[in-house]
Structure 1
Amino acid sequence: MSENHKSVAFGQVVIGPPGSGKTTYCLGMQEFLSKLGRKVAVVNLDPANEGTPYSSAIDISELVTLADVMDALKLGPNGGLIYCMEYLEANIDWLQEKLSKFKDHYFLFDCPGQVELYTHQASLKNIFAQLSRWNFRLAAVHLVDSHYCTDPAKFISVLCTSLSTMLHVELPHVNVLSKMDLIEQFGRLAFNLDFYTEVMDLSYLLDHLAADPFFQHYRRLNEKLVEVIEDYSLVSFVPLNVQDKESMRRVMKAVDKANGYCFGDLEQRSLEAMMSAAVGADFQFTSTLAVQEKYVHTEDQTVEQEAMQL
């Protein structure tokens, strides 16, 4: 796959903090796209991944592992991950050779979870840039655990991290709120779901923070952070439940739009057949967009509950 090779490969680089569901997403998206007829190759670029649930077409553990680096160089997990990414960058020919064996495939790159790799350190950014020079058309899929929506302070922090990642990675970007099916375990949302996905007027979050004595001393700082996020106006989210086929379809559409992938009639027919089958016994999940009806605590609900108590 030389730089002068005319063929174009499409794919996703799946990034996000530890525990956000990157590996589960790769498994679910691999199965979803395979049923549509795409030839999918999952590339594990996380040297700390052991026993991945999906079948890796390429695994960085053949080149370097975090455990070996930590043992040999006496580094901690963060330093070890940075070293592993620098080692991969220095041995990028290894990755090029591996990728060249998979013609006409759609690639899912399962990346490490260390946030610093996407906000400060340049190795992964350089690797993505090299892939682009090899005619890979990539979109970054940044997963964020949806439970952060239930805490205004954490949500503002997530917005800052997402914005910083978008500016540093320099790829078409799709931010995803993962694990929507589990959000109920963390409490009700203060606003409708579209407030969080579209990142609307964040001053309402500031009002919620002002009610907390701890954050009263940091109101000016929070105001400035919110101003930065709103001035760039880049961050928005797509909700995701990997067990919901309609939710997976929306994420796929957003990613295909971001990296320019256009599928043909055969894949469209496969998608229509899959979505039609989703109403059968093998698929009993409600639409992710209906999550706000289930999890949002509105004033009307409060009045109704108080009336019932009376």
Structure 2
Amino acid sequence: MSKFGVLVMGPAGSGKTTFCTALIQYLRNNKRSCFYVNLDPAAEEFAYEPDLDIKDLISLEDVMEDMGLGPNGGLVYCFEFLLENLDFLTEPLDPLTEEYLIIFDMPGQIELYTHIPILPTLIKHLTRTGALNISLCATYLLESTFVIDRAKYFAGTLSAMSAMIMLEIPHVNILTKMDLVKGTIGKRELKRFIDPDTTLLDDDPADGPAAGKDTAEGEDPASRDNVMRGSSFKLLNRAVAQLIDSFSMVSFLQLEAQNEESVGSVLSYVDDAIQFHEAQEPKEPKDEIEVDWEDPNV
């Protein structure tokens, strides 16, 4: 029996848990079943209590204390431990029917999605090549305020593209917290960031009169301001933008988590990616109402 799920990823602060909360609320309002899985071993506060929580298996706090590891090393250890105990996921998820949307809330360390092979191993177990046969779609969240800083925007876009290449599953990229940029950037300007290309660097607001020039005598070449406006940094940004443009893989949806219509729009893309509606059993029409035509009141 097929199952359906969405993997909610992205850097720290991108709004993953907020999106999960909005998604659960939307599904409940529309009488759809969902199963919420928290895979962030450091998460503490939830609007909806997870149906399955990795912290019942292992927590980042305990690992850091017992193993003497830092946050990043501890997180990697937690996921390695999860891969050694996959029954923790298999047993509660296996009985779920195709009516459920399984929501996986992931941690914010992007190295999990970009170059460490832990997550691809987990994906293989979850998806149709593994034990659980879940039709899975990844969502990669990026905070919309990144568009104000073109270098940060392209760095985030590159991490999204890296995750797409590494995970090899249907993928939806999302710009979150759109309410934060509504009064700063116009709608027409925002549309330019839906499909990233190098022309966004041609009118970068960060390019002031000193941009691209060598450090003046007496200035510290290693200072942040000088590095960020240096010619080498500009060349690096353009090379990253050209790489993204040449692959032409990344495009973004816009999300405002407090807007039900916005959440529903994103969910429709996820449903299409996992072919959720195609697998649902058709509902039987209501039986025809029998009418007594001899009744004078009819």
Report the counterpart of residue 8 of structure 1 in structure 2: 2
Distance in 1 (CA, whole Å) between partners of 2:18 and 2:234 is 37
| Distance in structure 1 (CA, Å) of the matches to 2:82 and 2:166 | 19
CA radius of gyration, larger in: 2
Deviates more, 1:11-20 or 1:94-103: 94-103
**In structure 1, what is the equivalent of residue 96 of structure 2?**
102
**1:260 lines up with 2:257 in the alignment:** no
Of 123, 126, 139, the match for 2:121: 126
1:114 is aligned to 109
How big is the shift at 1:51?
Answer: 2.8
Q: Which runs of no fewer than 5 residues in structure 1 stay unpaired?
A: 1-6, 268-310
Q: CA shift at 1:248, angstroms?
A: 1.0
Paired position in structure 1 for 2:59: 65
Match of 1:193 in 2: 190
On the 8 A contact 1:206/1:219 being kept in 2, the answer is no
Partner Cα distance (1:233, 1:153) in 2: 18
Change (3 A) 1:20 1:204: closer
Moved more, 12-21 or 241-250: 241-250
Pairing 1:159-198 to 2, within 5 Å after superposition? 159-184=157-182, 187-188=184-185, 192-198=189-195
Structure 2 residue 233 is matched with structure 1 residue 218 = yes
- Equivalent residues, number: 259
Q: What TM-score does the superposition give when structure 2 sets the normalisation length?
A: 0.81
Distance 2:258 2:26 in 1: 10
Change (3 A) 1:109 1:139: same
The two structures have a TM-score, normalised by structure 1, of 0.78
* Partner in structure 2 of residue 92 of structure 1: 86
Asked if the contact 1:45–1:111 (Cα under 8 Å) also holds between the matched residues in 2, the reply is yes
Structure 1 residues 203 and 190, CA gap change in structure 2 (3 angstroms): farther
In 2, the alpha carbon distance for the partners of 1:140 and 1:29 equals 14
Note if contact 2:60-2:75 (Cα within 8 Å) is conserved in structure 1: yes
SS at match of 1:196: coil
Q: 2:24 aligns with which of 5, 24, 30?
A: 30
Structure 2 unaligned regions, length at least 5: 212-228, 284-298
**Aligned residues of 1:118 and 1:168 also touching (Cα < 8 A):** yes
Output one character per residue of 1:8-40: Cα deviation in whole Å (capped at 9) or x when no partner.
Answer: 011100000111111111111011012222111
Other-structure match for 1:247: 262
The match for 1:48 is: 42
Cα drift, residue 86 of structure 1:
0.7
- Give the fraction of aligned pairs with identical amino acids, expressed as a percent: 37
> After superposition, what is the alpha-carbon deviation per residue over 1:186-235, rounded to whole angstroms, capped at 9, x for unaligned?
x4369622111122x42232442544621433333222211110111000
CA drift of 1:82 comes to 0.5
CA RMSD of aligned residues (A): 2.1
Q: 1:190 to 1:28 in 2, by over 3 A?
A: closer
Larger helix share, 1 or 2: 1
